[in-house]
Structure 1
């Protein structure tokens, strides 16, 4: 019996998310088709000009915008940013440093510090448990 392997495909939205680009800014042929795993790998390994341009100048999806600004996605929403932004718009926001951005960056820094504290505490507990069991 011969096994037939089906090519795994994904929706364009999933592929765009994996590539870190805003779906609506991709070419029509990308948005209207399906993307196989091998096609995705090829796009990641050797991105075409349209993909390089999108990654360089945007518009960028919210997770990328949040990362570039150093805030959470929820922080973007609280700041009123609900749409994709270009690199130029992101740089302008960084220069302006609106109050909401400073506040969200502070919040994000506190969240990261707390995550590190919890991770260290859990590691300490695990080490004590190993010592007790040894």
Structure 2
């Protein structure tokens, strides 16, 4: 698979990976090995970042669209995410509220569909 795909599956930012990872296709067995026993560079990226947008959104409790609405386009490190969670800017509070509402509505619809079946 392409390195971009492997990076997504590993939950890391491709640009932050080592050159040898970015320059060659990644086999499924290699991907499985990286997931099962991550090397230090992968563990460090997962721990400290920079993180790709979906990971940033999940850590902040917002959607990827919410990040875009707030103007957060660049990857963030774990320290930057922690700082946002501590400061809780207005956009973050509003987007978390919106995201929670959407998730609750999706859960309600799922329960209704299950009850109707």
Q: Which TM-score bucket, shorter chain as reference?
A: over 0.9
Is 1:32 paired with 2:23?
A: yes
Is 1:91 paired with 2:91?
A: no
Q: How far does the alpha carbon of each residue in 1:11-34 deviate from its partner, in whole angstroms, 9 at most, with x for none?
A: 000000000000000000001111
When the two structures are aligned, how many residues end up with a matched partner? 117
Higher relative contact order (CA 8 A, sep 6+): 2
TM-score (norm: length of structure 2): 0.99
Task: Give the ranges of 4+ consecutive aligned residues of structure 1 lying more than 4 Å apart after TM superposition.
Answer: none
Give the RMSD, CA atoms, in angstroms. Answer: 0.4
Gapped runs of 5+ residues in structure 1? 1-9, 127-134
Is 1:81 paired with 2:72?
A: yes
Q: How far does the alpha carbon of each residue in 1:51-107 deviate from its partner, in whole angstroms, 9 at most, with x for none?
A: 000000000000000000000000001111101100000001111101000000000
Matches within 5 A, 1:43-82: 43-82=34-73
Answer with 1 or 2: which has the greater Rg.
1
Report what 2:102 is aligned to.
Answer: 111
TM-score (norm: length of structure 1): 0.86
